[in-house]
Structure 1
């Protein structure tokens, strides 16, 4: 049986307190449920800044947007837990 390695992407930027909070939740969950975590700074990309500028942080799991502004830790754990 192969266990899928989920890919979680956090879109945010520096000096964003909600982004910092989101990263804390992601790190906490990652400690018990392994997944690949990527953090993308939208301030370095004009297209991403236009798309997500007013809604950060935005979190995608396996290419699907699942959170914006705040992460629901319980829901994230459910999304990442193998069936």
Structure 2
């Protein structure tokens, strides 16, 4: 699954266009490297997102095309 879509489906970022812009600006790292929106995300990857001065670091637990709002938090765990 594409990184921008994963961020939207997992609800780490609310909209896919915002996720795409964050990737283009270099604020999203996958396994410690700056990632474009088209990078394929798989289980076990570590994603770090810079929100201003705050950084959120998560590990991907599952990759699903669609998920209910209540189950979205089960797609990752905070590191």
Q: Same fold (TM over 0.5)?
A: no
Question: With structure 1 as the length reference, what TM-score do the two structures score?
Answer: 0.27
Query: Comparing both structures, which one devotes a greater share of its residues to helix?
Result: 1
* TM-score normalised to structure 2 length: 0.28
